[in-house]
């Protein structure tokens, strides 16, 4: 059995705790004024009772959280943000190992650095160009389904073709699509929020992405779990993105059903209103007519 000093869990947990508390600064000078603002519903007396004040803040934070994610477009784009960012980080972390497996650097000339630079440049260019394209909210789920499917195919080809040039091209395509769609997701999320809620939603989305990445790493890479080699890992990542695509297929179907029901209900209400007007006799009083209108 490994002692606490030699196990990787102990220093990792210690670093996480230190990193967390280094970013918690409850004594910042602006915090009291912020919590006592006119829209925070806290008083100086509550501020002197830390436990009660914390409970009030957490309650308001939870209500704000539920209110933010009650919006279907925001929930949809946030889900794509978290799920795709998780897979994106995994691909970036292990792509060099895959390239080394397909074409060892000791035996031939490699262009890994050029590919990384080109993919970043083209991705930034795509993100810039997409800012001038108008995207309707009606097709959000369809767009996310298509892009997630393309990413899944690209990652699958990286693993199965075993050609370094195909792998390079698929990686560039993967990175361009991600950087383009994450730009759209950022805009769509921001469009459904007020400015003061940006930090909450973007922070939650990023936290969920990192938590999912940790879980995915444990399942795929950890020796006590699947313990896959690099080729098996990329096969698992392609399946992961395919599952993301299926999720947005389900989202799209649910949204279509929801809109169909709303349109049917609106049509029934209009028909009922017209029938009621046709049944009104000439002797109907002005007050009755105004009610029907």
Q: Which residue has the higher pLDDT, 48 or 248?
A: 248
Dump the DSSP string for 206-264.
HHHHHHHHHHHHHHHT-TTTT---HHHHHHHHHHHHHHHHHHHHHHHHHHHHHHHHHHH
Output the CA–CA distances (angstroms, integers) from residue 30 to 24, 25, 27, 44, 200, in the order listed. Answer: 14, 11, 8, 14, 18
Structure confidence by residue, pLDDT tens digits, 253-275: 888 888 788 777 777 777 766 66
Helix, strand or coil, per DSSP, at residue 30:
helix
- Answer yes or no: is pLDDT of 135 > 50: yes
Kindly tell me if the per-residue pLDDT of 28 is higher than 80. no
Higher pLDDT, 218 or 271: 218
Q: What is the mean pLDDT of the chain?
A: 80
Write down the domain spans for the chain.
36-68, 74-257
pLDDT tens for residues 58-93? 788 888 888 888 888 888 899 999 999 999 999 999
- CB 212 within 8 Å of CB 115: no
Residue 120 neighbours by CB distance under 10 Å: 14
Say which residue, 1 or 164, is predicted with more confidence. 164
Please tell me the predicted confidence (pLDDT) of residue 34.
53
Two structure tokens written together for 195: 């400015």
Of all residues in the chain, what percent carry a pLDDT higher than 70?
76
DSSP 37: S
Lowest mean pLDDT among 43-52, 158-167, 228-237, 246-255: 43-52
Domain 74-257 falls under CATH 1.10.10: no
**How high is the pLDDT of residue 292?**
41
Q: Alpha carbon 183 to chain centroid distance?
A: 11
**Residue 84 near residue 178, CB atoms below 8 Å:** yes
């Amino acid at each position: 059995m490994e002692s606490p000093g030699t196990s990787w869990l102990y220093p990792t947990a210690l670093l996480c705790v230190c990193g967390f508390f280094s970013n918690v600064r409850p004594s910042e000078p602006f915090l009291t004024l912020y919590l006592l603002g006119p829209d925070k519903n806290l008083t100086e007396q509550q501020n002197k009772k830390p436990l009660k004040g914390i409970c009030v803040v957490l309650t308001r934070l939870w209500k704000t959280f539920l209110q933010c994610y009650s919006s279907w477009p925001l929930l949809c784009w946030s889900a794509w943000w978290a799920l795709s960012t998780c897979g994106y980080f995994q691909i970036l972390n292990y792509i060099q190992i895959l390239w080394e497996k397909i074409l060892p650097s000791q035996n031939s000339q490699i262009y890994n650095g050029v590919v990384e630079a080109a993919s970043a440049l083209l991705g930034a260019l795509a993100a810039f160009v997409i800012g001038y394209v108008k995207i309707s909210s009606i097709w959000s789920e369809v767009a996310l389904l298509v892009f997630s499917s393309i990413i899944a195919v690209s990652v699958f080809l990286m693993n199965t073709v075993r050609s370094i040039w195909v792998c390079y091209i698929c990686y560039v395509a993967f990175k361009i699509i991600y950087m383009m769609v994450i730009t759209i997701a950022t805009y769509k999320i921001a469009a459904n929020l007020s400015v003061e809620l940006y930090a909450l939603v973007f922070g939650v989305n990023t936290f969920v992405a990192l938590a999912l990445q940790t879980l995915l790493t444990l399942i795929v890479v950890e020796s006590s779990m699947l313990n896959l080699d690099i080729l098996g890992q990329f096969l698992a990542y392609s399946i992961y993105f395919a599952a993301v695509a299926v999720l947005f297929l389900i989202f799209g179907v649910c949204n279509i059903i929801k809109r169909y029901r709303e349109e049917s209900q609106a049509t029934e209400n209009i028909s009922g209103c017209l029938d009621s007007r046709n049944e009104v006799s000439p002797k109907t009083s002005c007050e009755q007519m105004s009610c029907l209108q």
